[in-house]
Structure formats: structure tokens, C-alpha cells
């Protein structure tokens, strides 16, 4: 199929919102309870069941989830937290919110996740935790990282923003691989509530404290007070935050959760179709899926080899001119102004290479094979001299 037949832009991502989601939100609107309430509680229960966690706590975003996870893990002023510099800036921002300092670690050149071999050199007496990222949905090397963390007495928290439905060693991300895992429901993610996030943990005390902290540290939730037949007066024993999810968002999430396995299956099918078709181009390196990991393909990212006929930015612009949206690969946080002071004299070679040479191709649940063929055909045309 020729790209000349394309009459509208193919987006890099598109959230799937159907009539069921519309009906669920309308039901909440008509109920009169639109803030954090019974739908949020139900969404938490269903989410915990899906990933296999003892506790799930809904919050306003994955960024706020990471902040609460770090705070409840004991991270505070003067502490250092290891994290990959190859990640969305929210990973480092959440560490700063906890008044700690991010210490960046380079990535594995194959998986683009934090390289366990680079971790020990970054540990100092101030290191309190390791914040690992399951980049674009591919699980990081959890076992290796946790083994290192255990030897140094460090907490491990997962930035699982992109990893809903992904699996590591036969278990879904969000089960008790680590102390806590944090998820995102942004529209670019597979399951969306518009904005929103979730924290999962096996620790009941941590879960209880997080539930309070997300609501100004209120000792009794709104739902409990309004459901009580007795007068309930709440207290505020510590400084908390307004990180609540609304029942409108939770209603979306409940419907999306029912679709999740089908959406992931479709994405995996399209990803496999991409990989098969793009294998003809030696200058494009497809994503990998290591043994023991199951990728949800929240995004499909390819890497340009040195032999590529165009630069990364030239390729993106040429595709956009033909009606196909792409995105640059994962950002390097240490290049951004707020974190430029965290870059040592020895920079991060793998991160720099990935950031400069990777491109995210369109992939979404409702993408048709015809649309995907347009993307593939466009790359074929641009690969010709």
C-alpha cells in the first residue's frame, strides 16, 4: 500500500474509550458522588486482584504515586536514590519531591533498562533506595537489582508507569517483587483514566499510611465518614497531600481493566507484525523480549544503526510530512536543566546513544493492519536512496 493514499494522520498513540466507559462515567455523575468514593475503592480491589497484590491504592498520577512510595519508604532530606537517567523526567522529579537527590545509572544497551552492572559503583553511604523503571513496558532485571539492594540494605521501588499487564518470571508486575510498584493511567498508557495512578504493595502498614497521606493524612476517609451512622470527627496527625483519584476516573478504570488483556494481546500481535516486517531493514534494530519477561508493548521503539539512511530527526520529520506521527526515544534526564548538575565527568554512553537514535512508532489498540502497513511502507520508501 502506498503512503500516498493516506488521508489523515496516524497518531503515535490513541486511547480507546468506548460506550461502556461513557455509561460508567455517566452513572457516577448521576450518583452525586464524583470525588474519591466507592468506585475508587472498587477499582483498587479489582486492580489488586488483577496484578496479584495484597493492596492497591489509587492516586492522582504515577508521579504522586512515586512520591508517596518514596516518602513511606523512609526517603528524605540528605538521602540519595538510584534511578536510570533514561526515563521520563517524573522519575527524578519524584525523588526531588521527597527532598532527596537522584543518582543516575546507565542502562543495558539491549533492554534500555537500568544495568545491574552499573549499580554498585553508584552506591554511597547516603544511598537509601533504588527506583527501577520498566521502560516502555519491558520489565527490568528485578532479581539482580533486588539482590544488590539486599546486600546494601536498600529499599527497591518500581516505576511501573508503563508496565500494566507485563510479566516478570511468570508473575505480573505489581505482585510483591519489591517493596512497592507505581503505575500510570495517563492517556499514553494502555489502561487510562485520563490522569491517575496506583501503588501496589504487600505491606499492610505501608498501604494504610499511603491511603491516609493521599488525603491530607486524614485519619478517617470521606467514604467512611459519610457512610457512618455515628458522628465521626477526623484528625490530621501529620502533613499529607491531596493526591486523590475521583470516582469518575475510577469508573473509567474499571471498564478499561475488563478490556486490558484483549488490549495487550492486540498490541503484542501488532508488535510482532512490526518486528517481522521491519527485519528487512538492517539499519533498524527492533525491541527485544528477554527470556522470563513478557512485554506489554506500551510503546514500540526501534533504534537506528549507524548505517541508517537518515538521522533520527530527519526520519521523524519525513514520516510526519507523510501523515505519520512518531516520538523521539526515551529522554535522558541528565540533559535537562534541573538535573544537569547531576552529570558526572564520565557520562552515560548507552543512555546517550539510545536517546539520540531511538524512535517510537505508532502503536495503539485500535490500530488497523492497513494503518500499520502505511507506517511500514513509509519506512521502506525512506530507506531507498
SS3 content of the chain, % helix, strand, coil (to 5): 40, 15, 40
- Length of the chain counted residue by residue: 385
How far lies 288's CA from each of 73, 275, 312, in Å?
Answer: 32, 10, 20
d(CA 204, CA 201): 8
83 φ/ψ angles, rounded to the nearest 5 degrees: -155, 160
**Contact between 68 and 214 (Cβ < 8 Å):** yes
Is 189 assigned a catalytic role?
Answer: yes
Determine the pLDDT at residue 219: 81
Domain layout of the chain by residue ranges: 19-257, 260-383
Q: How far apart are the first and last CA of the chain?
A: 19
Determine the pLDDT at residue 199: 98
Please report the DSSP string for 240-266 in residue order: --B-PPPHHHHHHHHHHHHHHHHHHHH
Please report the DSSP string for 41-55 in residue order: HHHHHHHHHHHT-SE
d(CA 145, CA 284): 30
Q: Is the pTM of this model over 0.85?
A: yes
Nearest by Cα to 189 from 62, 323, 308: 62
**Contact between 59 and 65 (Cβ < 8 Å):** yes
d(CA 339, CA 381): 39
d(CA 355, CA 328): 8
Q: Which CATH number fits domain 19-257: 1.20.120.1200, 3.30.420.130, 3.40.50.80, 3.40.640.10?
A: 3.40.640.10
pLDDT of the chain, 385 residues: tens digit per residue: 344 445 568 999 999 999 999 999 999 999 989 999 999 999 999 999 999 999 999 999 999 999 999 999 999 999 999 999 999 999 999 999 999 999 999 999 999 999 999 999 999 999 999 999 999 999 999 999 999 999 999 999 999 999 999 999 999 999 989 999 999 999 999 999 999 999 999 999 999 999 999 999 998 777 666 666 677 778 888 999 999 999 999 999 999 999 999 999 999 999 999 999 999 999 999 999 999 999 999 999 999 999 999 999 999 999 999 999 999 999 999 999 999 876 654 589 999 999 999 999 999 999 999 999 999 999 999 998 6
290 φ/ψ angles, rounded to the nearest 5 degrees: -60, 155
Determine the pLDDT at residue 293: 97
For 260-383, CATH number? 3.90.1150.10
Cell numbers standing for residue 309? 539512511
Contacts of 203 (CB under 8 A, 6+ apart): 55, 179, 180
Rg (CA), the chain: 22
Contacts of 175 (CB under 8 A, 6+ apart): 51, 52, 53, 200
Determine the pLDDT at residue 384: 84
The pLDDT tens digits for 367-378 are 999 999 999 999
**Pairing between strand 80-84 and 101-105?**
parallel
Cell numbers standing for residue 304? 537506528
Which residue in the list 8, 189, 205, 212 is annotated as catalytic?
A: 189
The pLDDT tens digits for 73-109 are 999 999 999 999 999 999 999 999 999 999 999 999 9
Amino acid at each position: 500500500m502506498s503512503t500516498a493514499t493516506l488521508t489523515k494522520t496516524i497518531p503515535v498513540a490513541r486511547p480507546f474509550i468506548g460506550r461502556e466507559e461513557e455509561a460508567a462515567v455517566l452513572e457516577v455523575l448521576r450518583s452525586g458522588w464524583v470525588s474519591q468514593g466507592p468506585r475508587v475503592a472498587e477499582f483498587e480491589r479489582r486492580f489488586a486482584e488483577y496484578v496479584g497484590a495484597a493492596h492497591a491504592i489509587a492516586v492522582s498520577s504515577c508521579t504522586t504515586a512515586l512520591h508517596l512510595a518514596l516518602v513511606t519508604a523512609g526517603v528524605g532530606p540528605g538521602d540519595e536514590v538510584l534511578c536510570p537517567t533514561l526515563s521520563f523526567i517524573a522519575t527524578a522529579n519524584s525523588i526531588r519531591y521527597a527532598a532527596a537527590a537522584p543518582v543516575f545509572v546507565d542502562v543495558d544497551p539491549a533492554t534500555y533498562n537500568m544495568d545491574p552492572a552499573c549499580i554498585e559503583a553508584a552506591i554511597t553511604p547516603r544511598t537509601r533506595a533504588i527506583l527501577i523503571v520498566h521502560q516502555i513496558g519491558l520489565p527490568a532485571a528485578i532479581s539482580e537489582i533486588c539482590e544488590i539492594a539486599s546486600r546494601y540494605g536498600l529499599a527497591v521501588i518500581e516505576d511501573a508507569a508503563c508496565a500494566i499487564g507485563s510479566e516478570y518470571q511468570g508473575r505480573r508486575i505489581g505482585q510483591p517483587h519489591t517493596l512497592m510498584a507505581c503505575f500510570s493511567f495517563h492517556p499514553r498508557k494502555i489502561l487510562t483514566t485520563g490522569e491517575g495512578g496506583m501503588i501496589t504493595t504487600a505491606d499492610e502498614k505501608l498501604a494504610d499510611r499511603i491511603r491516609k497521606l493521599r488525603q491530607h493524612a486524614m485519619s478517617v476517609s470521606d467514604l467512611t465518614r459519610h457512610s457512618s451512622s455515628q458522628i465521626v470527627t477526623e484528625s490530621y496527625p501529620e502533613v499529607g497531600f491531596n493526591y486523590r483519584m475521583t470516582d469518575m476516573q475510577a469508573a473509567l478504570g474499571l471498564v478499561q481493566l475488563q478490556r486490558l488483556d484483549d488490549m495487550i494481546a492486540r498490541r503484542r500481535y501488532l508488535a510482532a507484525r512490526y518486528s517481522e516486517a521491519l527485519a528487512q531493514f538492517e539499519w533498524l534494530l527492533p525491541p527485544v523480549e528477554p527470556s522470563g519477561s513478557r512485554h506489554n508493548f506500551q510503546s514500540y521503539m526501534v533504534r537506528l544503526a549507524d548505517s541508517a539512511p537518515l538521522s533520527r530527526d530527519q526520519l521523524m520529520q519525513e514520516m510526519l510530512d507523510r501523515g505519520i506521527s512518531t516520538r523521539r526515544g526515551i529522554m535522558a534526564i541528565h540533559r535537562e536543566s534541573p538535573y544537569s548538575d547531576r552529570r558526572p565527568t564520565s557520562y552515560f554512553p548507552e543512555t546517550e546513544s539510545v536517546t539520540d537514535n531511538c524512535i517510537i512508532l505508532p502503536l495503539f489498540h485500535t490500530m488497523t493492519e492497513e494503518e500499520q502497513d502505511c507506517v511500514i511502507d513509509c519506512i521502506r520508501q525512506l530507506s531507498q536512496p
